A and B are shown apart, each in its own frame.
Chain A
Amino acid sequence: MRRGIPLAITFLIGLFMLVDFFVPHYRVSDLAGEMKQWGTIVIAASILLGVGNLIRVHFHKIRRRRDGWQYSITTLLIMAVMFAFGGPWGTIQEGSAFNWMFLNMQVPLQSTMFSLLAFFIASAAYRAFRLRSAESGLLLTAAIIVMLGRVPLGQLLTRALPEQATLPWLTETIMAYPNMAAFRGILMGAALGVMAMGLRVILGIERSYLGGEK
């Protein structure tokens, strides 16, 4: 019963959304559009759950003086400061302290984390691109050709050759055909997997995401 109701809700809503795709009547479309927005609001409302969890975990860490508990103070403190700057006023205004902290702390930190990938992509390539088998040879060859074909120094190497033997041309061809074919295959297979999973969810066969029976 307690599990039955959410499963029934899942089924009915899922079915309605499924039908909406084929029924163009505006009342159906409008209601479906409405329900899509509910999801956005539920997600927004859930943020407090997440922040609550974050506070609890760090609070426990501080109370029990676990390794690095001092850093947890940073997290909680800066969160409180950010909230105090933005909470009562909200909307991002040019030049507000909230905006400054966002632009000068979160933005550079996030983009620096992102840029670490330039280092990691090099170390991953060094370690993983070994000629262990025919397959890894393909991986390696394709990667090297494409890497060469994308930069001026690589283009210099084959500039004298006819167009269809140049590295940029090979790069384009690899990207457009074998690469495309493989990715289409993955996408189509995954699409069927998603659909089977979605169907199982709607029918209530797959329900572990709802958690326990109690």
Chain B
Amino acid sequence: MKLCLSLVVLLLLVSAAAPAADDAETVDPLMSDVEGAVQAPVDSIPPAPPSDLAARDHIENTDAGDKIALSWSLSPDDGAGAGDVIGYLVLRHPSPDAPGDTVAVVGAGSGRCLDEAVEPGTAYYYTVASLDGANASEPVLAGPVAGRTNLWQPARTSVFVLMIVFFALVMIFTRLAERGAALFIRRIPGLNAIEEAVGRATEMGRPVLYVPGIGEIDNIMTIASLTILSHVAKITAKYETPLIVPTARAVVMSAAEEVVKEAYAEAGRPDAYNPDNIRYLSDAQFAFAAAVNGIMLREKPAANLYMGAFWAESLLLAETGFEAGAIQVAGTAMVSQLPFFVTACDFTLMGEELYAASAYLSREPKLMGSLKGSDWMKMVTIILMGAGVILNLMGATGIVNWFQTQ
């Protein structure tokens, strides 16, 4: 492990010294439109034709098989040579000899065209001829080519490969953990603080406030928050401390009800569950913040836990909570709000710590395994980054191109 890291670090540093690949931006020749270029000198000599015409089925993210992509190398007279090419005429033919339909006239300087109106599954031929003001060159031919509805998006292969690697890592470690391999997990102070905070609220005989963020339930931060809520509810059930859960989304409210009810039942205190403490306040962000502030000042919770997705209301809540004298623990992966939680709360779970919480709190082998798996994925990421830097320095931009997805 250590060796691995040192290697990457070393490579990263060495790469700083290596001679540079030319990373100057290449400037695309300006697309001059056909109209604007008409002033080019008109003669009676046809321009040289373009070359290397290629026609391929175009794959897009919603692929109905009705598009074919064409590309060609510019005519020698385009921008150089006689310099009188003003554009390219692109035609689509049902057979090599049949007359064609105009697909487009493409301005000089561009060697690409997308035919967006083909019949899926039908074979076509394409010709491209360069035009000057008066004449057309010999057309060049490509085909046959047919539009297909594709079942694979090659531009996303890199995503797929990394996903498979990630899934495999998670699966392997989950399996290992289930077989009883001892897994280490580092201390996360914010999570230890939760229990302390709840304990203090119990001593003071005041409630615990748990805000699961204002994200919708499709937000993974909200799901993570609900798993932490389940843990917190078990502790409050044990101590019979009231637990107030204000929510900004109706579905989250109903999920929170289930979670808390279940936790109280599991702790053997189903009667202590008070449905009036799981509240839907408002979908409107600041109406929600206003109402939570009201709860803090009037019901005086001794511990405020903010876990989940927060936006600008983060500091409104945390400052009011501080003024009310509560212990505050926050957890979010919203980068823009972390600075405010960090400054205003006693403890803050940053980014991934929020997602690691359920494994940390439950110590369930399956969850610990997935944590280990994503740690290894981080290692893969770091190694890839190092490899990318080095290969890029050596002029092999392949890996960087591989990172370009659609």
Contact = CB atoms under 8 A, between A and B. Distances in A.
A and B touch in the complex (CB under 8 A): yes
Interface of A: 21-27, 29-30, 33, 39, 42-43, 46-51, 53-54, 56-57, 60, 67-68, 106, 109-111, 113-114, 116-117, 120-121, 123-125, 127-129, 139, 183, 186-190, 192-201, 205-206, 208-213
Nearest to B290: A113
B390 to A, nearest CB: 19
A78 to B, nearest CB: 12
Contacts of A22: 152-153, 156, 159-160
A208 B312 contact: no
Contact of B315 (A67, A124, A196): A124
A27 B63 CA distance: 8
Q: What 4 pairs between A and B have smallest CB-CB spacing?
A: A211-B258, A50-B250, A193-B355, A212-B262
A124 B344 contact: yes
Contacts of A110: 284-287
B319 A211 contact: no
Nearest to B260: A211
A109 B290 contact: yes
A211 B63 contact: no
A117 B343 contact: no
Contacts of A201: 220, 223
B289 interface: yes
A192 B377 contact: yes
10 contacts: A24-B62, A26-B65, A48-B250, A57-B276, A60-B276, A128-B343, A139-B343, A187-B335, A188-B378, A212-B265
Contacts, number: 210
Given A190-B333, A208-B262, A212-B265, 12 more contacts: A24-B151, A25-B151, A106-B287, A113-B290, A125-B343, A127-B322, A186-B335, A193-B352, A196-B355, A196-B374, A199-B170, A213-B262
B250 A109 contact: no
Interface string B351-370: 11011101000000011001
B255 A211 contact: yes
Interface stretch (B48-56, B97-105, B126-134, B224-232): B224-232
B351 A189 contact: yes
A46 B251 contact: yes
Contacts of A109: 286-287, 290
B60 interface: yes
Contacts of A42: 251
A148 B262 CA distance: 52
Contact of A121 (B230, B290, B315): B315
Contacts of A205: 174, 366-367, 370
A195 B374 contact: yes
Contacts of B354: 190, 193
Interface residues of B, number: 84
B204 to A, nearest CB: 19
B371 A196 contact: yes
B202 interface: no
B250 A120 contact: no
Nearest to B370: A196
B254 A46 contact: yes
A114 B381 CA distance: 39
A141 to B, nearest CB: 14
A33 B61 CA distance: 12
B239 interface: no
B281 interface: yes
B216 A43 contact: yes
B154 to A, nearest CB: 9
A60 B278 CA distance: 13
Given A25-B151, A193-B333, A54 B279 contact: yes
Contact of A189 (B170, B312, B318, B378): B378
Given A24-B59, A120-B319, A195-B166, A51 B156 contact: no
Interface in B63-83: 63-65
A21 to B, nearest CB: 7
B355 A190 contact: yes
Nearest to A119: B319
B87 interface: no
B282 to A, nearest CB: 8
B253 interface: yes
A48 B343 CA distance: 37
Contacts of B275: 56
B186 interface: no
B350 interface: yes
